[in-house]
């Protein structure tokens, strides 16, 4: 396993990368290659490490031994690129999503296969996934564009309440028809599952002196009212974008909706039937798939 040593930054070398400095030691080896970014920041790396992960000699730049080379990427992008190559996390000082996208393009240019570096728990996987809570559709489009299946699936869980009609043409083109269709199908399948789960009202109980069948119909009416609140009729047969909040509804919200709708029910047996049915609904809803 590789071992790293990070020396203190030289205060007189402000054009040298703090991490990828001349003293950046890996497995006891000092750097043998200096890469200069487009904005004149110098990165000291190990040529053998670059050649080991590249299938085109680092974009043809290392076809022969060299000690220095210049690349067109700015330092912010080159830093992400090298961190990914070395398997180092960018999360302590996370770059912008734009810089990460540019780094992915650079990796491809330099002959590095993204799928090998974007496996779960790998730094690249964690970096792109870290954007999901804040830029879910953009992060999903990046993962989809590069066909990073596991990443796209993980990020799709953040898009259950996203209004698909808001996706720009640019993002639709970036993710491609396959991944857009899979996201739409996820919304549609969850809406269908929710509708089927809540369709059946609570069971009735044997008639008692305090509660006959007519009284029990109050529970069924309350249940139907709650259904209409969750899934308005106009949404039932349309694209799920019209009711995306329902596809991301929590079990707590489900319970509150049905409990509040039947708040006026006084019969303890009816209330028990209602409670049992709500528990069934919650259990079934948690089992519905949440990713593409």
pLDDT tens sequence across 137-149: 999 999 999 999 9
pLDDT above 50 for 253: yes
Q: Which residue has the higher pLDDT, 234 or 169?
A: 169
Question: Which residues are within 8 A (CB) of 95 and not within 5 positions of it... i.e. 6 or more apart?
Answer: 76, 79, 80, 103, 127
Question: For residue 256, what are the contacts with CB-CB under 8 A and spacing of at least 6?
Answer: none
Per the structure, the complete domain to which residue 61 belongs is given by: 4-130
Cα(3)–Cα(25) distance, integer angstroms: 8
Asked if residue 260 is part of any domain, the answer here is yes
**Of 39-53, 61-75, 218-232, which range is least confident?**
218-232
Is 173 within the bounds of a domain? Answer: no
β-bridge pairing 42-45 and 33-36: antiparallel
> What phi and psi, each to the nearest 5 degrees, are found at residue 26?
-135, 125
Q: Which of 130, 151, 167 is the last residue of a domain?
A: 130
pLDDT at 6: 38
Last residue of a domain, one of 92, 109, 130: 130
Residue 152 has pLDDT above 70, yes or no: yes
Q: Looking at residue 264, what is its pLDDT?
A: 87
Vertex 157, ends 152 and 159: CA angle to 5°? Answer: 90
149 inside domain: no
pLDDT, tens digit, 9 for 90 and up, residues 204-247: 999 999 899 988 888 999 999 998 888 876 554 544 444 556 78
Clarify whether residues 125 and 191 are in a common domain.
no
Confidence of residue 14 (pLDDT cuts 50, 70, 90): low
Measured in degrees and rounded to the nearest 5, phi and psi for residue 208 equal -125, 165
25-to-57, 212, 223, 279 alpha-carbon distances in Å: 22, 81, 67, 58
- pLDDT at position 246 is 75
- The rounded mean pLDDT for the chain is 90
Q: Is 150 inside a domain boundary? A: no
Residue 176 domain-assigned (yes or no): no
CATH number, residue 76: 3.30.710.10
137 domain residue, yes or no: no
Are 40 and 118 in the same domain? yes
- Checking 101-109 for CB contacts under 8 A at 24+ apart, the result is 101/142, 102/73, 102/77, 103/73, 103/77, 103/78, 104/142, 104/146, 106/71, 106/73, 106/77, 106/78, 106/81, 107/81, 109/59
Residue corresponding to tokens 């491809």 = 108
Query: pLDDT-derived band of residue 262, with 50, 70 and 90 as boundaries?
Result: confident
Please count the structural domains in the chain. 2
What region does 176 belong to: left with phi over 0, alpha with psi -120 to 50, or beta? left
Confirm whether 242 is domain-assigned.
yes
Q: Would you say 141 and 173 are in contact if contact means Cβ atoms under 8 Å apart?
A: no
The answer as to whether 167 is a domain residue is no
Residue-level pLDDT at 244: 56
């Amino acid at each position: 396993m590789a071992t790293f040593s990070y020396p203190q930054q030289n205060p007189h070398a402000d054009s040298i990368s703090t991490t990828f400095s001349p003293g950046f030691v890996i497995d006891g080896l000092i750097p043998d290659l200096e890469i200069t970014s487009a904005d004149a920041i110098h990165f000291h790396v190990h040529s053998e490490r670059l050649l080991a992960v590249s299938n085109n000699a680092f974009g043809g730049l290392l076809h022969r031994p060299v000690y220095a080379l210049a690349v067109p990427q700015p330092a912010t992008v080159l830093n992400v690129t090298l961190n990914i190559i070395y398997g180092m996390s960018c999360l302590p000082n996370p770059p912008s999503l734009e810089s990460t996208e540019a780094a992915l393009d650079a990796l491809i240019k330099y002959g590095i296969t993204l799928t090998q570096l974007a496996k779960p728990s790998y730094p690249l996987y964690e970096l792109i996934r870290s954007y999901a809570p804040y830029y879910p559709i953009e992060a999903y489009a990046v993962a989809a564009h590069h066909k990073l299946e596991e990443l796209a699936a993980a990020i799709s869980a953040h898009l259950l309440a996203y209004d698909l009609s808001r996706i720009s043409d640019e993002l639709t083109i970036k993710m491609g028809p396959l991944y857009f269709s899979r996201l739409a199908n996820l919304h549609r399948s969850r809406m269908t599952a929710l509708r089927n789960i809540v369709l059946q009202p609570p069971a009735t109980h044997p008639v008692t002196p305090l509660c006959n069948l007519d009284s029990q119909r109050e529970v069924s009416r309350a249940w139907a009212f709650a259904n209409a609140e969750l899934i308005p009729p106009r949404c039932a047969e349309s694209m799920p974008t019209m009711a995306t909040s329902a596809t991301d509804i929590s079990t707590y919200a489900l319970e509150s909706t049905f409990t509040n709708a039947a708040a006026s029910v006084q019969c303890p047996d009816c209330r028990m039937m209602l409670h049992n049915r709500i528990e069934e609904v919650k259990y079934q809803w948690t089992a519905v798939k949440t990713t593409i």
